Amino acid sequence: MTINIKNVSEAEVTCSNCQACCCRLEVMIITDTGVPETYIATDEWGAETMLRLEDGWCAALDRETLMCSIYENRPWICREFEMGSYECRVEREA
Ligand code: SF4
Ligand code: SF4
């Protein structure tokens, strides 16, 4: 699949006009940032990821505001995911 991101300008890319697309991705928990246990899924090998619910979004996403409910404790990957980056725009287009 080819994704054309050229027609999405930097100025248009903001979390306030996005449906929290990046909060549907698999998020590995690499560094302990204090994510509450209730939001963590552990696989059979012990790897930890953010739990995703049936709607596809991370369990920690506030469904009404589409904002992270554990912002201060969000995983390292979420902290590194930059608004307006290539990855961000790819997710929005997808
Ligand atoms: S970082 Fe990008 S993909 Fe994630 S919510 Fe913000 S605009 Fe959407
Ligand atoms: S922890 Fe917060 S920022 Fe990270 S995927 Fe979940 S809702 Fe999004």
Give the HSE-up count for residue 20: Cα atoms under 13 Å, Cβ half-sphere: 18
Its pTM stands at 0.86
Question: Quick one: CA dihedral 34, 46, 31, 65, positive or negative?
Answer: negative
**Ligand 1 pocket: which of 25, 63, 83 to mutate (most atoms <8 Å of CB)?**
83
CA 81, CA 83: separation in Å to the nearest integer? 7
Beta-bridge partners for 40: 50
Q: What type of residue sits at position 91? A: E
CA 92, CA 18: separation in Å to the nearest integer? 7
Note the pLDDT of residue 9: 53
Ligand found nearest the CA of 16: 1
Ligand found nearest the CA of 21: 1
Dump pLDDT digits (tens) for 28-79: 999 999 999 999 999 999 999 999 999 999 999 999 999 999 999 999 999 9
Note the pLDDT of residue 11: 57
Indicate whether 90 pLDDT > 80.
Answer: yes
Note the pLDDT of residue 86: 94
Give ligand 2 pocket residues (Cβ under 6 A): 23, 27, 50, 58, 60-61, 68, 70, 74-75, 78
